[in-house]
Amino acid sequence: MQYSISKTNKVLEGRVVLPSSKSISNRVQIINALSNSFEPIKNLSDCDDSRVMQNILFSNTNTFDVGHAGTSMRFLTAYLSKIVGEWTLTGSDRMKERPIGVLVDALNSLGAQISYLEKEGYPPLKIFGSNITGKEVELKGDTSSQYISALLLIAPTLENGLRIKLKGDVVSRSYIEMTLNIMEEFGVKSEFKGQEIFVAKQAYQRILYTVEGDWSGASYWWSFMALAAEGKLYLDGLRRRSFQGDSGLVPVFEKLGVKTQFSKRGMFIEKKESDCKKLVYDFLQMPDLAQTFAVCSCLKGIPFHFKGLETLKIKETDRIHALITELGKLGYVLHEPAEGELAWDGERKEEDEKIVIETYHDHRMAMAFAPVAFVRPDVVIDDPQVVKKSYPNFWKQLQELGFAVEEK
């Protein structure tokens, strides 16, 4: 399936009810399972990733397929390692290309029993769940924050608690802090000082939890507004003081011409003038927004140099390669100055005559490129339903705002 997206004018007005946070939903589901809580989770995300997690946690089989759900793969690897039983955890062909050795090695060093069924260091996994007694593990700080969060979520249930020592620069610290903040809401105390995190053995409290809106999903509406001729949108469901690191997008989009005004339940975003000549930013704490800002900056003709993108190559796809390839079809010549960096110096080449944006099974590619509709409405998005991974109503909401979304 393919979609073309267009709009008769470049005015953007209306109200958008944002999806609930996938990141928070999946953390809370694991915590509820660890505490044997049957309290309902209010505003739980209905995206594919969260549905996968929910279905597996309530399954009575011992073989689980997470599909493309990377968060589920990491969190369930840690969770199942301490649930007595014999488990098989697998995923899509792309999931089998995404490394998980760092997490498996860490868990095995703590006493877990996990082995590989196919390629060493990659899913699928055979997990023999047992009592884990180890109390200290060392990881590189630039490893995926999901590995660290997976360990933290089970930490208070381990016999000796857990101390994690991080070596070098800590990538995506905001996601680690989000995990610890959510754990604290469930009554678990922790210490995060310098390069060490310590969680003592303690019990999660059973509480009625409400999941907030998703800042990552909200980012695409800022991008649309930055490219609109004029407009004002109300985004419903975001907290001003959010645990989500992606809430840091507000001052960055201010530079690209979007004004943000908070209210009790959400915020208004409005088009404003921008005099930004070049966007230089370190995305270490919100790498998932790199695609949004790369596409938006190019379409606005603003050169950029982004750093802190070390984890982008092990996401749903190699996002650095994907951005260089797909923006290249639109005539933007991007390059990778160094590992974990992406830049566009303003260099242009001839655009492809017919443009089909490949999404690489990556929901963020589809949504990041949707604002192209304001610049070249003949562009086609391939595999648009991939957005179900995090934002099932994305295309429907575009239509409600006056966009024509047509199947090709």
Q: Which residues are catalytic?
A: 288
Q: How far is CA 220 from CA 290, 371, 380, in A?
A: 11, 8, 17
Q: How far is CA 69 from CA 50, 65, 90, 93, 118, in A?
A: 9, 9, 10, 12, 19
By the 8 A CB rule, do 191 and 162 touch?
no
Sheet holding 342-348, edge to edge: 279-282, 304-307, 342-348, 332-335
Q: How far is CA 63 from CA 29, 55, 91, 290, 386, in A?
A: 19, 12, 11, 35, 24
Token duo for residue 183: 């754990």
By the 8 A CB rule, do 75 and 64 touch?
no
- Find all residues with CB under 8 Å of 218, minimum gap 6, and list them: 18, 235, 238, 246, 249
By the 8 A CB rule, do 165 and 137 touch?
yes
- CA terminus-to-terminus distance, the chain: 7
Cα-Cα-Cα-Cα torsion 284, 290, 293, 298, nearest 10 degrees, comes to: 120
CA–CA gap between residue 7 and residue 224 (Å, rounded): 12
